[in-house]
């Protein structure tokens, strides 16, 4: 189901799509590909929205930088120094997280209006990112398809093609609170990550290039434990890049029994404990689990490549599954 959700200052209409299946209801906006709400039942069968967001369009326009529920691109996470080189040419980007470029620049995919069309049990969002948008080379045709599976899992499948060599890294930036949005601190959730290594960062949150073992550190989530605070780090998933989505993480809320599993084709996952959220939420009120290629990969050739060339098809998929215990 599609409905009018609001109008931008330039007169562009924003629509909202509602998907419902197997007791799960998700609402997706054409603005920024935002997952506005995601309602799932608890162990008693009571449904609640488990992602942070706003009731109206104005909330997203007045709080753009936390990227609530948004589709992130053309490059998710940070690119050091706001520039990268490809095939001997350097491309300057907007240093919107100075000195780095973050989540696609000043007006990334999260601030664009996408064209939506229905598909079976879901909606496909499409747009063309023109050559040079936010400094990135190549005309990129990109789609993100949101579907609900028979068991109520939310699947987001991304595809892109380009007419010139470029870099691509897409993700969804939902903040999860399995006790319900607005219920308070999510630091008591229990997290398990299938990651034996992580990418340590410098003072600007840029990976140093090493892949450190999590054993004996606060980054070891191989056995489930409370998340706590103080994380904005990329974890190196043990499975690596895969052709189909494989389970990488599990988040559990003891108070409601809600359990979230994250399966992905991506080699990395950014754990962000939202320590810098402000009104109307507060630090720690949500946990972001951003499936991705590693931050700053265009400048670190030893990392899995994010280069996309003409004739190739970028594909990525992440599945958010829900259950109770």
**pLDDT tens profile 280-315:** 999 999 999 999 999 999 999 999 999 999 999 999
Instruction: Report which of 133, 72, 80, 109 is spatially closest to residue 270, judged by C-alpha positions.
Output: 72
Instruction: Report which of 120, 117, 94, 115 is spatially closest to residue 106, judged by C-alpha positions.
Output: 94
- In this prediction, residue 1 carries a pLDDT of 85
- Return the sign of the alpha-carbon dihedral for residues 233, 308, 17, 130: positive
Residue 157 burial (CB count, 10 A): 18
- In this prediction, residue 202 carries a pLDDT of 97
- In this prediction, residue 241 carries a pLDDT of 98
Going from the C-alpha of 259 to that of each of 65, 102, 280, the distances in angstroms are 27, 30, 25
- In this prediction, residue 55 carries a pLDDT of 97
Give ∠ CA 317-181-154 in degrees, rounded to 5: 20
Compute the residue count for the chain.
325
Residues at the annotated binding site for beta-D-galactose?
A: 77-78, 173-175, 232
Q: State residue 59 phi and psi, 5-degree precision.
A: -60, -40
pLDDT tens for residues 175-211? 999 999 999 999 999 999 999 999 999 999 999 999 9
Q: Are 266 and 237 in contact (CB under 8 A)?
A: yes
pTM, rounded to two decimals: 0.97
290 is catalytic: yes
Q: Are 26 and 122 in contact (CB under 8 A)?
A: no
- In this prediction, residue 279 carries a pLDDT of 87
Residues at the annotated binding site?
A: 77-78, 173-175, 232
The contacts of residue 88 (CB under 8 Å, 6+ apart) are none
Residue 60's H or E segment, with its range, is helix 57-62
Q: Are 177 and 37 in contact (CB under 8 A)?
A: no
Identify the bridge partners of residue 249 per DSSP, sorted by sequence position: 193, 262
User: Out of 173, 189, 233, 293, which one is annotated catalytic?
Assistant: 173
> Helix (H, G, I), strand (E, B), or coil: what is residue 110?
helix
User: Out of 134, 250, 290, 317, which one is annotated catalytic?
Assistant: 290
Please tell us whether the domain made up of 2-324 is placed in CATH 2.60.40.10: no
**Which parts of the chain register pLDDT below 50?**
none
């Amino acid at each position: 189901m599609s409905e009018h959700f609001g109008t931008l200052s330039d007169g562009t209409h924003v629509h909202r799509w509602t998907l419902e299946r197997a007791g799960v209801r998700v609402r997706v906006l054409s603005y920024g590909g935002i997952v506005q709400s995601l309602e799932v039942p608890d162990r008693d069968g009571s449904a609640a929205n488990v992602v942070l967001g706003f009731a109206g369009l104005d909330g997203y326009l007045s709080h753009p930088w936390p990227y609530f529920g948004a589709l992130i691109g053309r490059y998710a996470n940070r690119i050091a120094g706001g520039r990268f080189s490809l095939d001997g040419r350097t491309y300057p980007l907007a240093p919107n997280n100075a000195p780095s470029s973050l989540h696609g620049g000043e007006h990334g995919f999260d601030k664009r209006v996408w064209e939506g069309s229905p598909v079976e049990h879901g909606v496909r969002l499409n747009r063309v990112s023109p050559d040079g948008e936010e400094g990135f080379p190549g005309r990129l045709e990109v789609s993100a398809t949101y579907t609900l599976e028979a068991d109520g899992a939310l699947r987001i499948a991304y595809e892109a093609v380009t007419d010139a060599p470029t870099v691509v890294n897409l993700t969804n930036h939902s903040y999860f609170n399995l006790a319900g949005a607005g219920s308070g601190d999510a630091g008591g959730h229990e997290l398990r990550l299938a990651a034996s290594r992580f990418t340590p960062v410098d003072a600007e949150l840029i990976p140093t290039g090493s892949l450190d073992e999590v054993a004996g550190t606060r980054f070891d989530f191989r056995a489930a434990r409370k998340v706590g605070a103080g994380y904005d780090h990329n974890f190196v998933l043990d499975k690596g890049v895969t052709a189909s989505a494989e389970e990488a993480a599990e988040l559990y809320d003891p108070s409601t029994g809600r359990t979230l599993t994250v399966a992905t084709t991506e080699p990395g996952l950014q754990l962000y404990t939202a320590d810098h959220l402000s009104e109307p939420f507060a630090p720690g009120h949500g946990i972001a689990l951003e499936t991705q290629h590693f931050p700053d990969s265009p400048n670190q050739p030893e990392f899995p490549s994010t280069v996309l060339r003409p004739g190739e098809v970028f594909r990525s998929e992440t599945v958010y599954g829900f259950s109770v215990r």
